[in-house]
Amino acid sequence: MSTRRHSPLSLPRTLARLAAPLLLAAVLTACAATYDNHGFVPPPEELEQILVGVDTRGTIEETIGRPAASGVLRDEAWIYTAYRVRNYTYQAPQVIERDVVAISFDADGVVSNVERFGLEDGQLVQLSRRVTESSVRDLGFFRQLMRNLGRVDLGALGN
């Protein structure tokens, strides 16, 4: 009867042989791209049911719903957006798919147009028309500060 003795280094070697494929698999999956989907655009079948000149905001709301709270909602148009973002290791996230549907309304709330844009269209969508005029646009921070120092009423500060 022979007894076989294991060397003290055989156990770590065995573990290393088992761990190497697992480590390789972990490294390869860490390098895989991940994808995030954002937003909602109604499917083409629902968009085909919209009748320009007939449907109103109310019928559109019943059929496909209003844009999400995070979407853009204006009086003259409802804009639905959806996009897919690719995240890959250390690189900046990249939008790989984008779908924008704009449903325009006339002054009476009747659908006047339905447009669909994709990433390949390169269309810019104006999200807001608000313009704020600033009276301080030409003045630097310190100039504004010095200008306001003369407006302080020292008598009001003492009370």
pTM: 0.57
> Of all helices (H) and strands (E), which one includes residue 103?
strand 94-105
Lowest mean pLDDT among 8-17, 80-89, 109-118, 125-134: 125-134
List all residues 6 or more positions away from 147 whose beta carbon is below 8 Å from its beta carbon. Answer: 139
For 7-64, what is each residue's pLDDT tens digit? 555 667 777 777 778 877 777 666 778 889 998 999 999 999 999 999 999 999 999 9
Give phi and psi for 103, each to the nearest 5.
-110, 115
Is the pLDDT at 86 greater than 70, yes or no?
yes
Give the pLDDT confidence score for residue 130 in this predicted structure. 41
